[in-house]
Amino acid sequence: CALSYHHIDQVQEITNNLVEYLVAGTGVLLVVDLIRTEHTIARHIVKKHISHVGGFEENEIREMYEKAGLKDFSWIFVGNWEWEGTPISMFMAKGTRPADS
């Protein structure tokens, strides 16, 4: 999922559903999205017509992945960009569906 998670109201439910489609033992969920900062929070408060959480912190994604049963969690910083005058930072998170699930 690329730059969509921060638009989802029920992120844990969606994560759980996506994991069900992964092949046990080899299936991987990759999420690329915004790292929450004061800039992303301020920008997304203005966009009230679309769901926004302003990004995520590593511990939030780790917890979601663990609750969904994913293992081998990793998080990497992808880079900094500017979007319509707002500085943003992005991450990529990875988790694997274990063979015994």
Tens digits of per-residue pLDDT, 35-81? 887 656 555 555 555 556 678 999 999 999 999 999 999 999 999 98
Percentage of the chain lying above the pLDDT 70 cut: 80
Collapsing DSSP to helix, strand or coil, 4 comes out as coil
Give Cα 67 to chain centroid, integer Å: 14
Q: What pLDDT shows up at residue 43?
A: 55
Contact by Cβ (8 Å): 92, 75: yes
Using a 10 angstrom Cβ sphere, with 0-12 exposed, 13-18 middle and 19 or more buried, the burial of residue 32 is middle
- Mean of all residue pLDDT scores within the chain: 85
